[in-house]
Amino acid sequence: MQTRTLPSRHLAGVEVRLDPSVLVLAALVAWAFTGVFRAEHSLGVALLLAAVGAVLVVLTTLAHELGHALEARHRGMEVEAITLLLFGGVTEMHADGQTARDELAVAAVGPWISLVCAAGFGLLATFADDLFPATVAASLGQLAGVLGWWNLLLAVFNLVPGAPLDGGRVLRALLWMVTGDRLRALRVSVRAGQLIGILLVGLGAATLVRAGAQAALVAAAFAVSGVFLVRAASSELRQAELSAVLEGRRVVDLVATPPPEVQGSASLPWPPTPAGDGAPAGSSEVPGVELTDDLHTLIEAFQGDHDVVRIVRAGRTIGTLTEAEVARAIARLRRGEPLP
């Protein structure tokens, strides 16, 4: 089931989703920028510059993610969507057929775009007096300078060599090239990401102890970022290990003996699935999979409100699989046990 997002838009053919938490990101950036601009401007001007800066931070984050998406699509990968959220952005893509060289290019392009943005804002800040009217040149120059530093820090942070950051993907791609083992390379980048996350949590705790309440927000940012990195890296490893288990297997592998075709109006023993009005859903509303479909397709069929799917052959239902049955089968595969 998809995470609830704000109304989505399409940009360059890619769906862009806004998680509600991106509003928190914008608010935090605006609050931080207000403190920066307040030293040299009135409160009204500082608030205006901070608001513009917050919008541009979100837009440059979008540019970073759009770089990933367009490079992935250029290399033949299917891009589902970009989601902007509190911790930046996520580009969802299907990497079937991806090579180590593809992964390296897709991972590196995001930080490269952030560096380009940093350079662009830096030039605007440097030549603000020549580019803008004298009445606003100082203010816009300061805004451009702040955004330049922001994008530079974004690029540097993303290049830290630990999953799920772009630097972790670069590390994984390079190790994959050297070892030829993608899963092994991923495990190394995940361990690096978990270590970096733990260090950030420790840095947050040390900051709070040494600087006290005045640095509480900075300490919290370090700690929350660290926890996010540890959890996201661990999740990425679980997903990769699951993909390795499912690789090459199909629905027919979960069925000991392919069931006979159901004739006419014969009924099938699946649990009733409630429809939106609470009424049981009929077989036409229950997702179906072919015996030849891969297990990724089978798992995706359970992402709605159903806990059962139909097994279909030549357009006719020949049996069912429940979510619990599939979970038990995958657990056996994870343990290296043969399917019954």
- The residues that are catalytic are 65
Q: What is the rounded radius of gyration, in angstroms, for the C-alpha atoms of the chain?
A: 25
Q: What is the CA angle 206-208-212, rounded to 5?
A: 130
Give, for 310, the enclosing helix (H) or strand (E).
strand 308-313
Is residue 305 within 8 Å of residue 295, measured between CB atoms?
no
CB atoms within 10 A of CB 303: 10
C-alpha–C-alpha distance, residues 114 and 322, integer Å: 46
Write the burial class of residue 230 (CB in 10 Å: 0-12 exposed, 13-18 middle, 19+ buried): buried
* Contacts (Cβ under 8 Å, ≥6 apart) of 35: none
Give, for 18, the enclosing helix (H) or strand (E).
strand 14-18
Is residue 326 within 8 Å of residue 299, measured between CB atoms?
yes
CA torsion sign for 70, 75, 81, 87 is negative
C-alpha–C-alpha distance, residues 310 and 312, integer Å: 6
Q: What is the CA angle 215-167-233, rounded to 5?
A: 75
φ, ψ dihedrals at 260, nearest 5° = -70, 155
Short-list 73, 53, 76, CA closest to 11: 73
